Amino acid sequence: MAVTYFYRLRFRRRKMRCNGERPSCRQCVQAGILDCEFTDNGPTHSQVLEENVADLEARIQALQGDSGPILLHDPHQSRLSPMGSSSGSTRHEALQKIIQAFLMVGPTFGFFFDFPRFMPRLRSSLPPTDRTPVSALLVRTIELIGTHFSDDAAMRQGEEQKLASVLQAIPASLDRSRLMDTLQAEILLAYYLLHRNRRTEGSYHAAAAVSIAVACKLHKIPWGGSSRPSSPVDDIDNGTRLRAFWTVFALERTWSTWTHSTPAWPVEVVNHGAELISGLGQQGGLMIQDSVLESKTEMPSETLLLLRLKAAILFAEASRVGERLSEMPETNPEFTDLESRINTSLHVVSALELTNRPSHYQCSLLLTRTLLSCAVLQLREYVFSRGNDSDVVMVHAATTAVDGLKNMNVSGLICVDPVYAPLWAMVGRTLIQALTVLSGTPTTASIFLTSSAPNESKISGSLALLFESMASFEQTSPLIKDELEKLRKTAQEKRLAVM
């Protein structure tokens, strides 16, 4: 039988034979060495170090010579390939879980790319480099959001490091050929930070997204030109650009209105938003037809987004007009015309069926309905609690916003658009104020005793349902949790018993 010899590294160098005894060979025992290593189970730690030293010496020698570029690599890559390494497999599985978690929330967080076209690009960009189809910034942002919503606690421990990595990558990501990736990353990051109740940072990145959209001239058709990303290659790419503009426009207009901050868009875009959206929709081949709204078939995602966009424009306009016309607004034609447009849109959207629809369809329509209801509140905010018909109109709008929640399984949702937080807070404050008036003197409460006004039971039930819906996200959305705690505190101060 052939004898197999095992050589320890120190014996191989000195050309000494090892007898192979375990756990320590005779030569090592005599030398007083207790950590005897053998080569039959792959490279030893000493061998790895020696090979690394030899590799470095070779590279130094090459650098001193006149050689070309040196390709750095792991000398043991073949032994540690993903197919044969548990660590490689684990990393791949972790990425798959993170991406899957992102896919569940991406549309809610403003993802505008076409998923069937985007996913192959994403898979071929793992891990990301400067030359992968999807930019490193966007890949890292997707990993960040997927990590946040992962059900694996161990994965979530690295979330802050991923956020730091994303923020560090932004300054170097303004390559013209990747501007759409950068815009998408900024939108996702804005949603993510707002969701986490980091409002100032979220507002900053929403404004940054606006700046990129304006620089790309996404609010103008045709696209293309030296200062813009390359022209769309087909209808899918064309639709992507429309969704990109509509997404960032709706986000910024809603959020800046709530925070009373200066709009990030140019004045002409803000003042002529409705005309601009209508023109882009027509030129892009998208118009909202009455037949589509009245049909029982599922709407295209672009139509749902366009409905929300129009609601965001009305919401912002209502805030501006309501503040400016705070005295006797019902007699002003501008006020009455705007309220009529809001109510018409609200009537149409409220009539759309929510039951037996996909969750994304329900969430999108519910958000549009809530925006329109809150547009009424914004318009009449400065005349509320004056004991007139305006109070009844506002309470009707608030209960209408909550009624949409009755047909939704809110507790089954992973997350909702962060914009819901300020909208629900607005609805909650209106209902609390109405209950406060009803608990006061008969004179102040008389306005709610008319046949057209919601009664106390209806208002109290709406507030309870609103609190219950917001509580569904108390553990997952710091922003909604913060607004819910404020409403609870206000209700407690008013000594209201919410069912």
Mind listing the pLDDT tens digit for each residue in 126-137?
Answer: 888 888 999 999
pTM over 0.85: no
The structure tokens 């629809």 sit at 357
Higher pLDDT, 411 or 28: 411
How many other C-beta atoms can be found within 10 angstroms of the C-beta atom of residue 313?
Answer: 21
Residue by residue, DSSP assigns 28-97 as HHHHT------STTS--HHHHHHHHHHHHHHHHHHHHTT--------TTTTTT-TTT-HHHHHHHHHHHH
Distance CA 418, CA 416 (A): 6
| Model confidence at 31: pLDDT above 60 | no
Which pLDDT value is given to residue 273? 66
- Burial label, 160 (beta-carbon count in 10 A; 0-12, 13-18, 19+): exposed
Residue 349 has pLDDT above 70, yes or no: yes
Distance CA 16, CA 5 (A): 11
pLDDT of 288 reads 43
Secondary structure of residue 120 in the 3-state scheme = helix
Question: Between these two residues, 65 and 350, which has the higher pLDDT value?
Answer: 350
Share of the chain above pLDDT 70, in %: 68
Q: What pLDDT sits at residue 408?
A: 82
**Are 466 and 427 within 8 A, CB to CB?**
yes
Tell me which of 200-204, 272-276, 434-438 is least confident.
272-276
Any idea which of 183-187, 305-309, 336-340 has the lowest mean pLDDT?
Answer: 305-309
pLDDT at 12: 46
The closest of 125, 106, 113, 76 to 192, measured between CA atoms, is: 106
Mean pLDDT of the chain: 78
In this structure, what is the dihedral angle of CA atoms 220, 225, 226, 229, given to the nearest 10 degrees?
70
Q: Rg of the Cα trace of the chain? A: 31
Kindly state the tokens that stand for 472.
């569904």
Q: Residue 456: its pLDDT value, please?
A: 86
In this predicted model, what pLDDT tens digit does every residue of 446-458 receive, in sequence order?
A: 666 665 778 888 9
Confidence of residue 464 (pLDDT cuts 50, 70, 90): very high
Residue-wise pLDDT tens digits, 219-275 = 775 544 444 566 656 667 778 888 898 899 999 999 998 888 888 888 888 776 666
**Would you list the DSSP string of 432-493?**
HHHHHHHTS-HHHHGGGGSTTS--HHHHHHHHHHHHHHHHTTTTT-HHHHHHHHHHHHHHHH
Cβ count near 349 (within 10 Å): 22
C-alpha–C-alpha distance, residues 290 and 205, integer Å: 36
Instruction: Report whether pLDDT(363) > 50.
Output: yes
Mean pLDDT of 291-320: 74
Give the Cα separation of 2 and 476 in Å (integer): 66
Highest mean pLDDT among 37-41, 198-202, 447-451, 493-497: 198-202
Bigger pLDDT: 235 or 404?
Answer: 404
Domain ranges of the chain: 1-44, 352-499
Lowest mean pLDDT among 159-173, 208-222, 279-293: 279-293
Confidence of residue 76 (pLDDT cuts 50, 70, 90): very low
* Residue 348: alpha-carbon gap to chain centroid: 28
Query: How far apart (Å, rounded) are the C-alpha atoms in residues 266 and 472?
Result: 38
Distance (Å) of CA 334 to CA 253, 410, 464: 20, 37, 35
Pairwise CA distance, residues 327 & 313, whole Å: 23
